[in-house]
Structures are given as C-alpha cells and as structure tokens.
Amino acid sequence: MSSEKKKVAILGGGNMGTALAKGMVASGKYIPADITLTRRNLRYLESMEKEGFQVTTDNAEAVAGADIIILSILPQQLDNVLDTIAPSIDPARHLFVSIVTGVMVEDIVQRVGQEVQVIRAMPNTAIAIRESMTCIAGSKASEENRALVQEIFEAVGETVEIEEELMTSATALCACGIAFFLRSIRAATQGGTEIGFHAADALRMAAQTAKGAASLLLYFQSHPENEIDKVTSPKGCTIAGLNEMEHHGFSSAMIKGIKTSSLKAEQLYHKEK
Ligand SMILES: NC(=O)C1=CN([C@@H]2O[C@H](COP(=O)(O)OP(=O)(O)OC[C@H]3O[C@@H](n4cnc5c(N)ncnc54)[C@H](OP(=O)(O)O)[C@@H]3O)[C@@H](O)[C@H]2O)C=CC1
Ligand SMILES: O=C(O)[C@@H]1CCC=N1
C-alpha cells in the first residue's frame, strides 16, 4: 500500500504534532481527512478541525482508525498514552513512529508488545514549512516500513538515517538546534539595533544573512571556515568582530550548550522512571 493511502493518527496534537500534520498536507501526499490529531484539550485543535483534520480526545479510537501512529506527546505523557491504546493495537497493521525525546524503541515495545514495529524520528519545528532536518532510526523495522517513514519525512524536509544510540545527539543538534540558531539571530538583531537599525529591519537583515550563510554551505558543500575565509579581509572588520566573539566564548558556548541538551535529552524519560 502506498503512503498516500495510509491513514495517520498523530497522538499529541501540540507544537510538533500540528506542524507535522500541516507539513504532510503541504507535501501533497496527504489530505487533512487522512490525519487524526488527538489531545486532551480539543479547544486548541479547533483551527485544525476547520482545515479538515480529524480531531479527538480518544487515543484508542484514533489508533483503531489508522495505519500509522505517530507519537508526539511529551516523554512524561508517554506511558499513560501507551497503556490506553495497548488493547487497540494490531501489530500486523500498525506502524509506530515516535518523535518522543529520549524514549528508545525498546521502551515502547516493552509496553505495547515486542511484535509492534516502531521507528524513531527526530524532526524539528521547520517541518511546518517543509524544511525539517529529520533524523530517523529504526533498524529493527521492516525495509518497507523504513522506506515509508523516510518518504513521510522526506516530503517535509531532509532526512538522515542514524543509529538509535545517536538519537539524543541528533535531538540536541537538530531539534534543539533550531532554538540555538534562532537565539544567535536574535543576538545579531540586538547588535544591529545598537549600531543603527530599527529592530524589525535588523531582524529581517539578520535572518536573511543567516539564511545566506547556511545556503552557502549547502550549495557549495563547503566547510564554514572556507566561507569565513572569503569574508575576513586582512586587517578587516570581520576578523576583528569574529575574534572578539571568540574571546567571549562564542564557539565554546554553542558546543557546551549542545552537549548539555544532549545529556538532558537522554534523561527526559529514563530519569523519572
Ligand atoms: N518542540 C520541538 O521542537 C520538538 C519536540 N520533539 C518531541 O516531540 C514531542 C512533542 O513535543 P511538542 O509538540 O513540542 O510538545 P507539546 O507539549 O506542544 O505537545 C504535546 C501534546 O500532547 C498532548 N497530550 C498530552 N497528553 C495527552 C494524551 N493523554 N492524549 C493525547 N494528547 C495528549 C498535549 O495536549 P493536551 O494537554 O491538550 O492533552 C500537547 O498538545 C515531545 O516528546 C518532544 O520531546 C521532537 C522534536 C522537536
Ligand atoms: O526541548 C525539548 O525537550 C524538545 C525536544 C527537542 C526540542 N524540543
């Protein structure tokens, strides 16, 4: 069966669940009626319902009507949801995709049955505009199901297949990474405002500059230092500013932040057990 024909239940229609649903529809491979979103407070899904998505508070009912179940609740909400849906799971039909941070495939199958196929995916919020970097791990799933999940996420951005043991690292680098790069754009905006631009103009200028920097790397497939070397004129203002940032720990702060996020991601589910 091709992915277009599959019915999807997204359990946890919050930030990621709704962004993923919108991205899937924007890809043209799904229509809103194919996708059911669940959450306890349906008031927040009214706009999705108006767009034609199915919405319900009943996770078991959503599972019963779907082929692909996407877990998009918080780590601390997972056990409760899995226990509720366990009786409705048909391992021959259902494919589970978990985007829940810090939860291993083994954690899920231990709760719902070893025969259930589970693939982990770690997208980021750019999935809403089909620009996600999604890391996928599911070496125990069938090739057909892995291809299916890859197809879903390739329609909403770039994908890379990784070993599951690297999933928390992927979370820090790519999912949390959106916030890290956004904060650096905000900082650039603050600098731009201090040197003369209105904040809104500075933000637009900084965001397009950041997009240009990332695009250079992706287009030329080059190393950042190659591109930096082209900007830093001898005795110039770029190297003066860059070195000042490094004296204040710019690279070090990013590296330490990513390591801290990765450690935290690892503890989100297991620490509370
Ligand atoms: N935000 C991000 O950038 C990324 C997040 N992730 C992971 O994705 C998952 C979701 O994150 P995010 O969307 O940001 O979190 P949100 O808190 O925005 O979404 C979680 C949703 O789950 C719903 N929920 C809670 N309990 C239940 C339940 N029993 N049944 C159905 N729905 C329920 C909540 O709604 P209500 O309270 O109304 O029930 C809420 O809307 C997390 O595990 C996170 O770690 C992964 C990649 C990126
Ligand atoms: O902050 C979090 O825990 C989630 C996981 C990755 C992005 N947001």
Q: What is the pLDDT of residues 146-198, one digit of tens each?
A: 999 999 999 999 999 999 999 999 999 999 999 999 999 999 999 999 999 99
Q: What is the pLDDT of residues 13-63, one digit of tens each?
A: 999 999 999 999 988 999 999 999 999 999 999 999 999 999 999 999 999
Q: How far apart are alpha carbons 184 and 175 in whole angstroms? A: 15
Structure tokens at 62: 């959503």
Is ipTM > 0.95 here? yes
- E strands along the chain, which residues? 8-11, 35-38, 54-56, 68-71, 95-98, 117-122, 132-137, 157-161
On average, the pLDDT of the chain sits at: 95
From the alpha carbon of 179, which atom of ligand 2 is closest?
7
- The verdict on the CB of residue 36 being under 6 Å from ligand 2 is no
Residue closest by Cα to atom 5 of ligand 2? 101
Local structure of 10: helix, strand or coil = strand
Q: What is the pLDDT of residues 252-263, one digit of tens each?
A: 999 999 999 999
Q: How far apart are alpha carbons 151 and 159 in whole angstroms? A: 9
CA angle 234, 240, 243 (to 5 degrees): 115
User: pLDDT-derived band of residue 270, with 50, 70 and 90 as boundaries?
Assistant: confident
What average pLDDT does range 58-86 have in this prediction? 97
Place of tokens 């179940």: 69
Q: What is the pLDDT of residue 273?
A: 53
User: pLDDT-derived band of residue 6, with 50, 70 and 90 as boundaries?
Assistant: confident
Pairing of strands 68-71, 8-11: parallel
User: pLDDT-derived band of residue 4, with 50, 70 and 90 as boundaries?
Assistant: very low
Q: How far does the centroid of ligand 2 lie from the alpha carbon of residue 35, in Å?
A: 23
- The verdict on the CB of residue 100 being under 6 Å from ligand 1 is yes
Q: How far does the centroid of ligand 1 lie from the alpha carbon of residue 55, in Å?
A: 15
- The verdict on the CB of residue 124 being under 6 Å from ligand 2 is no
Q: What is the pLDDT of residue 1?
A: 44
**What pTM, to 2 d.p., does this model score?**
0.94
Q: What is the pLDDT of residue 272?
A: 52
From the alpha carbon of 125, which atom of ligand 1 is closest?
3
- The verdict on the CB of residue 171 being under 6 Å from ligand 2 is yes
